[in-house]
Copies of this chain bind each other. A is one copy, B any other.
Amino acid sequence: MVKHFSAPYDRSMSRHDEIRQEMLRRINDGEWPVGSDIPHEMVLTEEFGAARGTVRRALSTLVEQGLIERRKRAGSRVVGQTSQTSKLHIPLIREEIESRGHAYSYRLLEREVKPGLHGIGTRNGLLWVRCLHLADGAPFQLEHRTINLDTLPQAAEQPFRVTGPNEWLVREVPATRVITRISAAAAEAEIAEILAVPEHAPLLIVSRETFMGEAHLTEARLSHPAEQYQVTTLSI
């Protein structure tokens, strides 16, 4: 089969990646302008000399990226992003700190079993942990965590004295759904002291709830001094 375009694409790419690159180029160069219909699958299939499945794979990637949209019978068209979607990747705090070339250390501040709340942990209660993650000895992240002992009874046996709940959860527990919220706030007196920042200093706060199916597993509130931490995401 003939390839009907001859740009010097990386030969190590798979065919669907090559095709996707070429489609990207056409969008880029305005050959397929925003708002316009792009050719039907079968036309592209012939043009690229590939199977329909391969062309579809290239197209699906563009759909994921939000560059095109497709509707049955109506065909596919290039869209200007109505909202930018990107992948947010929050690493283990230990890795984050070590990747910056700092020494990681950990301190457990509080650990307590509390009664359930809002229908969560009504049987076995909630494990409440407060701990601090440090970079080169300086406070980097304050972690407030609750673990649902109904769904994760094994957590009750974890002391979390030398490693944080995160490390354990990551190793032992898979999650199917995660809700992450990122916000800013001024440091209250108690938190300011723990994080060694002035009162009312700006904090970047990452809150995360984790579920397995419908079951609530754990919730975390991670507070960082604003100067030290930012969240970065890449496009899909």
Contact = CB atoms under 8 A, between A and B. Distances in A.
Nearest to A25: B213
Contact of A231 (B175, B176, B177, B182): B182
Contact of A235 (B24, B67, B176, B183): B176
A78 B182 contact: no
Contacts of A82: 91-92, 95, 170
A200 interface: yes
A172 to B, nearest CB: 6
B233 A180 contact: yes
A231 B181 CA distance: 5
Contacts of A182: 182, 204, 230-233
A84 B178 contact: yes
A89 interface: yes
A184 to B, nearest CB: 4
A87 B85 contact: yes
A226 interface: yes
B180 A232 contact: yes
A90 B86 CA distance: 8
Nearest to A215: B28
Contact of A181 (B173, B230, B236): B230
Interface residues of A, number: 60
Contacts of A169: 80
Contacts of A226: 183-186, 202
Contacts of A184: 184-185, 202-205, 226
Contacts of A28: 174, 176, 212-213
28 contacts: A28-B176, A28-B213, A67-B176, A80-B172, A81-B170, A81-B175, A82-B91, A84-B175, A85-B90, A87-B88, A88-B88, A175-B235, A178-B235, A179-B232, A181-B230, A181-B233, A182-B182, A182-B230, A182-B231, A182-B232, A183-B204, A183-B229, A183-B231, A184-B185, A184-B202, A184-B203, A184-B204, A185-B202
Interface of A: 24-25, 27-28, 34, 65, 67, 78-92, 95, 169-186, 200-205, 208, 210, 212-213, 226, 229-236
